[in-house]
Structure 1
Amino acid sequence: MTIIPLTAPIAPSAPYGATLDLLVLPCAGASATMYLRWRRMLPPWVRVVPIELPGRGARCNEPCVRHFDALVTRLCDENAASLRGNFVLLGHSMGALLAYGMALRQRALSRPMPQLLVVSASAAPTCRSPERYASRHDDATLIADLRKQGGTPDEVFAHSDMLRMTLDTLAADYDVCASFPPRETQALALPIHAFGGRHDSIALHDIEQWYHETRGRFSVDWFDGGHFFIREREAEVLAALLQVLSPLAKGVGDAAIAFA
């Protein structure tokens, strides 16, 4: 859950012959750089499209957006060119909630919908407790959360400027999570696939409840590890991801599955 500043925006990878766009959203306190390794680890038919949030990475000079609906609206508008064609939305933790919100907004505006929604390390909308984020803004609490969840390099805690930037971003993202509005909405007409860590503090039941959010197929993969199993078990996660992406890749067929 750390920020890696960049000097230039993250451009989507554009391998020759890509037939599927994978739009990826980061977890709270993080930058879309958390997915950069995937570009060289995934096969050429997947184009990785990192969705950077304001206030971090290449956008570190922009103010953070602290309200869920405002952030979703902005992300959909900024990435409208990528939210079309053969695309998938994937997010980890808070990123999963944002991906879900983007799918809802696309539907509300009659815009193109993703072929698949992949939600990683995130409780289903019906199982969330926004109030748990409302009073977690003091530095001691934020640092304790970072250490408990793991995934933050030790050097972040050792450098005051880097730690300050991380804590400020995390606090803003907690506001985003706290402002996620309870809503009664029709389930999405697209498949949802969930990733969960067996040793994460998020209950397995709460992840499985994502099945309520789809009128299509729901599936889930479990991995050994905590909240950041996505890093701890990266090769396994990507192999599982390819299994659900390959049926969506146009013109790839058996070659996609063979790669995994």
Structure 2
Amino acid sequence: MKETVGVDDTWIRRFHLGSRQEPAETADAAEASVSLICFPHAGGAAGFYLPVARVAPPGVEVLAVQYPGRQDRRAEKCVDDVEELADRIAEALRPGTGRPMALFGHSMGALVAFEVARRLEGQGTVPVGLFASGRRAPSVHRDDRMHLRPDESLLAELRGLGGTAARVLGDDEFMRAVLPMVRSDYRAVETYRHRPGPKLSCPITALSGADDPKARPGDVRVWREHTEAEFEMRLFPGGHFYLVDHVEEIVGVIGDRIASALTGAGRGPETGS
């Protein structure tokens, strides 16, 4: 999963799905017209987006960010600052900005994607869209301090949110081994403070689970204030990891919005699903 096209493959991964998925269900890198860059949640890794790659429409190549401190980068020090992560990822993406690019992030990944979008636009590259999933708007602050709590509290938080295979959540030894990485990610999110600046020029689509305690609809709707372009909000049944059960629907929304952006078509209003 490490070869990429036009980007730094230390940070950005491309999925090789094999002949069963090619070419009908995923785009060949050389033929793709748009790159969809996916940003993982706190504690997550690039492989979380394999299901997205499997159902991506023709013309969309799914790439996933691999943060330091996990999987094949586990020997590297974690980055516990969203701004620094965004700086380094934007630099890694710079060689690939010749092709249209959309950004999708879930939870922590939505914040990182937003900050990367700000940097790309500052360099003259406007993404075709930002898809923010399972995260309140960057300007909505809560004084969360989960990264300062004891291990047991952090483990309980992870188990309460779900999103990880039951066998992994039940493996106490493994969970404790990855806690330093998870704690670092939580520190990055919880110490983040939105800096005032120009609104994005790209459209924003905010996606969320209707029962997500981390992304209440009123807080998600504030994403509207972060773009000069079109905004749409979509709610799906489920909690924080609603997207695990709605991958095809979500990818359908992303594909439609990308197509609309590339053809200059308009977008619809806020809707629930």
Instruction: State the TM-score, normalized to the length of structure 2.
Output: 0.82
Choose which of 193, 196, 205 in structure 1 pairs with 2:218: 205
- The 8 Å contact of residues 83 and 113 in structure 1, kept in 2 or not, is answered as no
Shift of the 207–84 alpha-carbon distance from structure 1 to 2, 3 Å rule, reads farther
Q: In the alignment, which residue of structure 2 is the partner of 1:118?
A: 131
1:68-109 Cα shifts (integer Å, max 9, x gaps) = 21111111122222344211011000000000011112233x
Work out the CA distance in 2 between the residues paired with 1:189 and 1:249.
14
Choose which of 224, 242, 254 in structure 1 pairs with 2:237: 224
Indicate yes or no: 2:53 matched with 1:51.
no
Counterpart AA for 1:163: M
- The 8 Å contact of residues 22 and 88 in structure 1, kept in 2 or not, is answered as yes
Indicate the percent of aligned positions where both proteins have the same amino acid. Answer: 29
Report the secondary structure of 1:126's partner residue. coil
Please show how residues 1-260 of structure 1 align to structure 2 within 5 Å. 11-13=13-15, 15=28, 17-108=31-122, 110-129=123-142, 131-133=143-145, 135-201=147-213, 202-248=215-261
Q: CA deviation at 1:39?
A: 1.8
Q: CA deviation at 1:43?
A: 2.0
Counterpart AA for 1:232: D
Work out the CA distance in 2 between the residues paired with 1:140 and 1:160.
10
Counterpart AA for 2:42: A
- The 8 Å contact of residues 42 and 238 in structure 1, kept in 2 or not, is answered as yes
Work out the CA distance in 2 between the residues paired with 1:64 and 1:82.
24
Work out the CA distance in 1 between the residues paired with 2:67 and 2:227.
26
Counterpart AA for 2:232: S
1:109-152 Cα shifts (integer Å, max 9, x gaps) = x24121111100110012122x3036544211111111111112
Q: In the alignment, which residue of structure 1 is the partner of 2:21?
A: none
Q: CA deviation at 1:161?
A: 4.3
Instruction: State the TM-score, normalized to the length of structure 1.
Output: 0.86
- The 8 Å contact of residues 192 and 211 in structure 1, kept in 2 or not, is answered as yes
1:36-81 Cα shifts (integer Å, max 9, x gaps) = 1222211221100111111112211111011121111111122222
RMSD: 2.2
Counterpart AA for 1:36: L
**Relative contact order (alpha carbons < 8 A, sep ≥ 6): 1 or 2 greater?**
1
- The 8 Å contact of residues 128 and 262 in structure 2, kept in 1 or not, is answered as no
Shift of the 79–91 alpha-carbon distance from structure 1 to 2, 3 Å rule, reads same
Work out the CA distance in 1 between the residues paired with 2:45 and 2:14.
14
Work out the CA distance in 2 between the residues paired with 1:66 and 1:95.
13
Comparing 66-75 and 87-96, the one that deviates more: 66-75
- The 8 Å contact of residues 128 and 258 in structure 2, kept in 1 or not, is answered as no
- The 8 Å contact of residues 19 and 86 in structure 1, kept in 2 or not, is answered as yes
Work out the CA distance in 2 between the residues paired with 1:136 and 1:73.
25
Shift of the 134–161 alpha-carbon distance from structure 1 to 2, 3 Å rule, reads closer
